[in-house]
């Protein structure tokens, strides 16, 4: 994820989203569905997307209004998804929908939906922060017929899966932000070696070099926390312990907060270190600056993640205090 994002955050998101759908098919789909779609996805002939976000339901997933109603031995899907990566070009989507009462997280299911099916309409989202390579768009579902075996995650399991997998998503967004910043830092450093000002290279001016030094320190810190998040997520997947799951939630949230805010702070400084040359088309600064803003609310808005860290971190601190006091009393 980090290496892909060095060049283009949107392209990295596109590739990762297709990969995630392929992984879901490999672990949850029937043999018939795997045979139908996996060869196309793995060969790069088909893109795929996960359709979760809605106009009125972003981080608050339980508010989703897309519904799946029983129709004989299958389902009919009605609703709208928005800000979906790969929506413009995907051939397959994993669509999350309410199978029971609206606002009931336990009633959410996940369906494999062929985006060429009747009742599916797609609309491009062409906003400044929606990079073309990300293929962002809206998907409307008007009575889309879905066979029974296309239900990949039944009610109950789907929401638990969302909560578990979002930690991995936050970890890779953090890594992607590190990739963008690393590329910008290398470009600025190369510029500082080549560009001469007042008789010497830019990098020999302490004030200029100090800007890059600050960015380098911040990048190393963000990378370390991102790596720790990956370790925590992998550890939580290997065991069935609530403490490990909470650690993964907290550390993944911390990693995304730190990496996103580091990127948002240091990318503009590195652009200014390049001067007007940084705006040239051969440099990634403009698209990285836009992507850093989008990263701030991808897979959890920063303010919500701070609340998550506060809740889990304070709970952990309180538990440690109780344990320490018990040991002293013992």
What residues make up the domain containing 287?
Answer: 158-318
Of 137, 153, 169, the residue that ends a domain is 153
Quick one: pLDDT at residue 263? 97
Quick one: pLDDT at residue 243? 82
Residues with Cβ within 8 Å of 303's Cβ and at least 6 positions away in sequence, in order, are none
Assigned domain for 301 exists: yes
Q: Which residue has the tokens 């720790």?
A: 228
Q: Which residue has the tokens 């190369």?
A: 190
Assigned domain for 119 exists: yes
Pairwise CA distance, residues 46 & 42, whole Å: 8
- How is residue 278 annotated by DSSP? G
Q: Which residues of the chain fall short of a pLDDT of 50? A: 322-324
Residues with Cβ within 8 Å of 156's Cβ and at least 6 positions away in sequence, in order, are 106
Bridge partners for 96 per DSSP: 110
CATH number of the domain to which 23 belongs:
2.40.110.10
- How is residue 155 annotated by DSSP? T
Assigned domain for 121 exists: yes
One domain for residues 84 and 204 = no
Pull the structure tokens for residue 330. Answer: 């013992």
Q: pTM above 0.85?
A: yes
Q: Is 241 helix (H, G, I), strand (E, B) or coil?
A: coil
Q: Where are the alpha helices (DSSP H) in the chain?
A: 2-7, 9-28, 31-42, 157-194, 206-238, 242-274, 285-295, 302-329
Quick one: pLDDT at residue 141? 98
Quick one: pLDDT at residue 329? 55
Phi and psi dihedrals of 111, rounded to 5?
-120, 140
Assigned domain for 3 exists: no
One domain for residues 179 and 208 = yes
One domain for residues 262 and 300 = yes
Q: How many residues are listed for the chain in this entry?
A: 330
Pull the structure tokens for residue 221. Answer: 């810190």
Question: Among residues 47, 21, 20, which one has the least CA distance to residue 33?
Answer: 21
One domain for residues 111 and 163 = no
Strand-strand pairing, 90-98 and 108-114:
antiparallel
Please tell me the total count of domains within the chain.
2
One domain for residues 228 and 253 = yes
Residues with Cβ within 8 Å of 181's Cβ and at least 6 positions away in sequence, in order, are 215, 218, 219, 222, 262, 263, 266, 267, 270
Pairwise CA distance, residues 32 & 90, whole Å: 19
One domain for residues 149 and 194 = no
One domain for residues 143 and 189 = no
Tens of pLDDT, residues 304-328 = 999 999 999 877 655 555 444 555 5
Bridge partners for 138 per DSSP: 123
């Amino acid at each position: 994820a980090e290496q892909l994002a060095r060049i283009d955050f949107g392209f990295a998101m596109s590739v990762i989203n297709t990969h995630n759908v392929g992984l879901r098919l490999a672990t949850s789909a029937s043999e018939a569905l795997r045979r139908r779609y996996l060869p196309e996805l793995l060969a790069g002939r088909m893109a795929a997307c996960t359709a979760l976000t809605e106009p009125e339901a972003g981080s608050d997933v339980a508010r989703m209004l897309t519904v799946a109603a029983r129709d004989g031995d299958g389902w009919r899907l009605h609703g709208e998804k928005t800000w979906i990566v790969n929506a413009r070009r995907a051939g397959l989507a994993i669509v999350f929908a309410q199978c029971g009462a609206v606002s009931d997280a336990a009633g959410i299911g996940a369906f494999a939906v062929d985006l060429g099916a009747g009742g599916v309409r797609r609309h491009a989202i062409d906003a400044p922060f929606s990079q073309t390579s990300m293929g962002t768009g809206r998907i409307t579902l008007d009575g889309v017929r879905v066979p029974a075996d296309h239900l990949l995650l039944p009610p109950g399991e789907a929401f638990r899966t969302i909560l578990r997998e979002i930690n991995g998503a936050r970890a890779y967004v953090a890594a992607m932000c590190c990739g963008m910043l690393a590329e910008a830092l290398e470009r600025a450093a190369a510029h500082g070696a080549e560009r001469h000002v007042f008789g010497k290279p830019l990098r020999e001016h302490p004030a200029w070099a100090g800007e890059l030094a600050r960015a380098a320190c911040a990048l190393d810190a963000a990378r370390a926390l991102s790596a720790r998040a990956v370790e925590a997520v992998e550890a939580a997947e290997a065991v069935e312990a609530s403490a490990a799951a909470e650690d993964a939630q907290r550390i993944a949230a911390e990693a995304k907060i730190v990496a996103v805010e580091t990127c948002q702070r240091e990318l503009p400084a590195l652009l200014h270190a390049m001067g007007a040359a940084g705006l040239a088309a051969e440099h990634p600064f403009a698209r990285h600056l836009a992507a850093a803003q989008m990263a701030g609310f991808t897979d959890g808005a920063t303010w919500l993640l701070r609340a998550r860290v506060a809740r889990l971190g304070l709970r952990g601190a309180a538990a440690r205090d109780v344990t320490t006091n018990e040991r002293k009393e013992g």
